[in-house]
Amino acid sequence: MATVDNTTLETELEELRDSRTFTAKAWDTFKRMPLGAFGALVVILMILAAILAPWVSPYDPELNNFEAMLSPPSWEYLLGTDQFGRDLFTRIIYGAQTALFVGFSCAFIGATAGLVLGVMSAYFGGTFDLIFQRIMDVFLAFPLIILALAVVATFGTKGIFFGTPYENVIIAITIPFIPRCARVVRSNALSIREIPYVDAARALGFNHARIILRHMVPNVMAPYLIMLTAFVGQAILLEASLSYLGLGVQEPTPAWGLMLQGGAEEYAESAPWVPIYPGLAITVAVFGFNLFGDAVRDILDPKLRQQ
């Protein structure tokens, strides 16, 4: 009888260990990966800055004060002002809204489209897979920035559907992401297609859409999430690059790349704070998302967890 009680107690203790809260498990994970914790902190701070921008920024991001043009950092203007007298601290905070909106939109749309297309390519195989992969090869032959430049140069900077300032930028950045995610997801979905439960679903008469969405897509979520987090940082950098070249969002929208376009060269010596602080914002944001994406990969990839 005592043996049964001890066994029951050990089972309960084991269940208690396994039922730790998500917060405790996340804390243990971040203690093992301090760089991932730093990346997560950067992501959280960016999100908070974007959400709280109207309350934490001291000025209107589009307000011109021609009496304070190119003012150096001071208590009145924490990071100085630009050539139009606009407060840089305010515009950098509001620029986080632009960066996150474009970054998350491009990453989510591109990764999700790549997820669906990659799973479909692996599931149907044959001629469909062959043709689809050759199309993906064409897109993959172009570097990200070159393909994005080609798209935005074709459609222009004004939205082709709704006329919004972000529309064509999102389209231009999203298109190069689709084949990259599709190729990674397809390689994982090929092995899942051969698992017996997929054959069982076919034998039960389930249609293709149900098998793909219910039985295959959930099993490739790990690479999808990894690609999603990696794409956000790349999208922020691409948006800043396009804006710097004059093919992204347009004035007076606060955007980090647009701020560099107006002051990176002309004021690099006379007013160095104009290009330095937007450049630092881009660097820290991209670096933080890359570190966070690496941490997500380490957590979700079973091969890396075993090391």
10-residue block means of pLDDT along the chain (307 residues)? 53 54 63 83 92 89 85 88 89 92 93 92 87 89 84 73 74 90 89 79 79 83 88 91 84 85 74 88 92 82 53
> How many whole angstroms separate alpha carbon 290 and alpha carbon 101?
17
Under a CB-based contact definition with an 8 Å cutoff, are residues 169 and 249 in contact? yes
> How many whole angstroms separate alpha carbon 124 and alpha carbon 55?
52
Helix ranges (H only) for 194-272 are 196-203, 208-210, 221-244, 256-263
Check whether the bond before 223 is cis (ω within 30° of 0). Answer: no
Helix, strand and coil content of the chain, in percent to the nearest 5, comes to 75, 0, 25
Strand segments (E) across 34-188: none
Read off the tokens for 105: 């939109």
CATH architecture of 48-305: Orthogonal Bundle (1.10)
> How many whole angstroms separate alpha carbon 260 and alpha carbon 128?
45
